[in-house]
Amino acid sequence: MAESTQLKSEVLLEQMKLHLATDAGKKLTKEIGHVYQLNIAPTKIGFDEVIFVVDLKKGEVKKGPYEDGKPDVIFSFKDEDFIKIATGKMNPQIAFMRGAMKLKGSISAAQKFTPDIFPKPAKM
């Protein structure tokens, strides 16, 4: 943790990294089998985006753009909104409707992008 201001999403995605190694995570990989690229912006979509790749083909989470071809879907959202979606606070469809989430790519792949693919953080 080099910098003190860090995206919440990164914390969650780090957890996701571990999660994908578990049985539940492996099952996810098998069920979904898509590659999602997440462009996460701290405050405004399109600005200072940090790119993550959630590769549910290989079962990996990586920082940086996808390099092995084209991701199935590229999502863009604000840090906050991604957390809301991943923790079920916001429905992806609603997020989409309000422009809180933008996507490029396969719609059917995007439909599988639901809160249940993300591990829920436990609270201390």
Binding residues for another protein, rule: CB under 8 A, are: 1-2, 4-6, 8, 11-12, 14-15, 18-19, 21-24, 27, 83, 87-94, 96-97, 99, 101-108, 110-111, 114-116, 119-124
Q: Whole-number minimum distance, CB 64 to another protein, in Å?
A: 18
Burial pattern 98-111, b for ≥16 Cβ within 10 A else e, equals eebbebebeeebbe
Token code pair at residue 76: 């863009």
The total number of residues shown for the chain amounts to: 124
Q: Whole-number minimum distance, CB 115 to another protein, in Å?
A: 5
Would you tell me how many other CB atoms lie within 10 Å of the CB of residue 52? 27
Q: Whole-number minimum distance, CB 50 to another protein, in Å?
A: 14
